[in-house]
Amino acid sequence: MATVILLRHARSTANGAGVLAGRQPGVALSDRGVEQAAALVARLAGIPLAAAVTSPLDRCRQTLAPLLADRGLEPVVEPDLAEVDYGQWTGRGIKDLLEEPLWAVVQQHPSAAVFPGGEGLAAVQARSVAAIRAHDARVTAEHGPRAVWLACSHGDVIKSVLADALGVHLDGFQRIVVDPASVSVVQYTETRPFVLRVNDNGGDLSALVPPPEKAEQPPSSDAVVGGTTGA
């Protein structure tokens, strides 16, 4: 199967204001976010992207705009990669939400958390993982198993996808950090996913492109039953 770069949108005005933006309209990139988006062009220069998929929200589209213009790519808009529907929490300040009883559930038992008037985090994981796997299968069918593609989404959405790929219960997904403009990388195979990067904020990413002679190989050898893969 192909390799997917999970890109969190660059820093937004809501990130700077400490607000839970959710799906609130009119949330754009901050000045710092604009700089981060522009820097993606050089950072991903060594990776031939086969496709790009994005959340429909403005901050994701703005993050991808310089990169896609440079590559001449048109993104596929995927509603199931949209931000969590926080319902009545949308637009509220994080410092105020800390006082809500549900906040502790979100942090300690997120699989049981359902936002008032919104959706539950378990549902977020189900839709986002299904979307990523479906697009990965499509890209693989169209471009082959060595293809690398990019999906731009949101922090909690990407964390839920990574938790699934790592085989971690959703209740542990708050242990995963995904910063604005960071990339995390997953390679799916017929048997299981391999997580190649998490919250990568810099450095050369060209090694993510599989060499031709290893097109059918996982990124690292499978564990030996009763033994280890290391020295």
SS3 149: strand
The pLDDT, as a whole number, for residue 227 is 41
Cα–Cα dist 76/55, whole Å: 9
pLDDT 10s digit of each residue in the chain, 231 long? 799 999 999 999 998 888 899 999 989 999 999 999 999 999 999 899 999 999 999 999 999 999 999 999 999 999 999 999 999 999 999 999 999 999 999 999 999 999 999 999 999 999 999 999 999 999 999 999 999 999 999 999 999 999 999 999 999 999 999 999 999 999 999 999 999 999 999 877 888 887 765 444 555 444 443 443 333
The pLDDT, as a whole number, for residue 209 is 80
Nearest-5° angle of CA 76, CA 25, CA 49?
25
Strand residue runs (E) in the chain: 3-8, 49-54, 76-77, 148-153, 183-188, 193-200
Residue 167: is it exposed, middle or buried by C-beta count within 10 angstroms (0-12/13-18/19+)?
exposed
Closest CA relative to residue 151, chosen from 63, 38, 217: 63
The pLDDT, as a whole number, for residue 217 is 52
SS3 205: coil
Cα–Cα dist 174/200, whole Å: 17
Residue 32: is it exposed, middle or buried by C-beta count within 10 angstroms (0-12/13-18/19+)?
middle
